[in-house]
Structure 1
């Protein structure tokens, strides 16, 4: 090699941050977990698709063996979730997790790390739905807003990386800002939703709403990590 020249390296290491979604099971009953995953996430693509997941043992009394953890890894993978790490719990639980190939997170070290800022998804034209969305159906507008011109029934789910506009009764679940957009909002001409969410901050609406909001035109927005639900006067 000539003097003063440097051979190109084959690779290099760079620091990177990965945001993990915590999965906190209270049981490892396969059938129960599967049923609730299906209820919460549906059978198709959802707002957590492709997310990296850390199992948190904080609420789990038993210590799962490697085979049980591997079944859980496979089960979550069927719903588009990548179980890669473990945290919380006791030493025995974390030891089994390590044996199963999961990364054991040092929670003391993690608390010192800054929370990664959400990366804004590339915006695309709004998805417009003109037909009613029935119970059990899920509609996801990836990268943009969702506009629904018909009923969203109880048990249905509408999701958008941007804002959600429902110009009809909204009776199912509405999750806006699914990829972390805290400026996203939910608008509807008739708010009767089961659940609303902005950027992962959610609220169930089974409790009584004020008379000027319930079944009326309303919007849902995020204000310093708190959901605000307010009437929209003059919206037809």
Structure 2
């Protein structure tokens, strides 16, 4: 036993796909940020309480100073979430992360280094009342639109198939391709794809399509009972499934920044 202890490594280090949410900061207001995140945690505690999050500062006109960022991080913690790093951005963001002792999460490439010192592009302002438009009746999806894999513009890589159920706590990730699940996705399970997701069973857990930002990705579900669905980072959480969608065959897609769901 002593010989085994002397030759054993202290640990193993591996990389894998992990579920991390992104908090995109629109203005430097720690109190408002805390209030908004607390509201999200109260609405879906099973989803967001003690959730690991990345802070995205790329949509601010100016990068905040260290003190302001520290206040934002504390606001996230106070709201009940756990900040684990900053989203990848400019060299100034990298220097800030080093000073704050935080990692840059390359999965979230929020704003690439501007060329020739030009400023990073900002988001276009959202139309007035857009936040309320989610409650309006969704536009009818165009079912004639061809369904292409995430790699249609590149190599002809096929969809990834998962035969059978996805158990609670299990995560399936289809990198650079679509994902097809032939069984049920249990509560607490996650299915993620860079392309489309097709679930030929009940979805009781979480489904996230367009994981690398593909806004044309869609999710198709035979039996809708989801905890969460997301496309290209836009998500909807369900503490209770609407009666007209519960147990139905549905598809999910993006219309601008609105995630829409309709029966098939």
- TM-score normalised to structure 2 length: 0.50
Runs of 4+ in 1 over 2 A off after TM superposition: 21-26, 52-62, 81-87, 95-103, 109-115, 120-124
Cα distance in 2 between the residues matched to 1:181 and 1:96:
29
The structure number with the bigger radius of gyration is 1
1:220 correspondence with 2:255: no
Q: How does 1:70-149 map to 2 (within 5 A)?
A: 76=85, 99-100=99-100, 113-115=121-123, 122=154, 124-149=157-182
Aligned counterpart, 2:51: 36
- TM-score normalised to structure 1 length: 0.55
Q: Does the 8 A contact of 1:54 with 1:84 survive in 2?
A: no
- Cα distance, 1:85–1:60 mapped onto 2, change above 3 Å: farther
Q: Does the 8 A contact of 1:136 with 1:155 survive in 2?
A: yes
- Cα distance, 1:220–1:111 mapped onto 2, change above 3 Å: farther
Q: Does the 8 A contact of 1:182 with 1:199 survive in 2?
A: yes
Aligned counterpart, 2:235: 202
- Cα distance, 1:125–1:209 mapped onto 2, change above 3 Å: same
Equivalent position SS for 1:59: helix
Return the structure number with greater helix share. Answer: 2
Mark the runs of 5 or more structure 2 residues left unpaired by the alignment.
1-21, 26-32, 35-47, 59-63, 76-82, 105-110, 112-116, 124-149
Q: Residues 150-171 of structure 1: CA distance to partner in whole angstroms, max 9, x if unpaired?
A: 1100000000000000000011
Q: Tell me the number of residue pairs that the alignment of Structure 1 and Structure 2 aligns.
A: 166
Q: Does the 8 A contact of 1:53 with 1:84 survive in 2?
A: no
1:150 correspondence with 2:183: yes
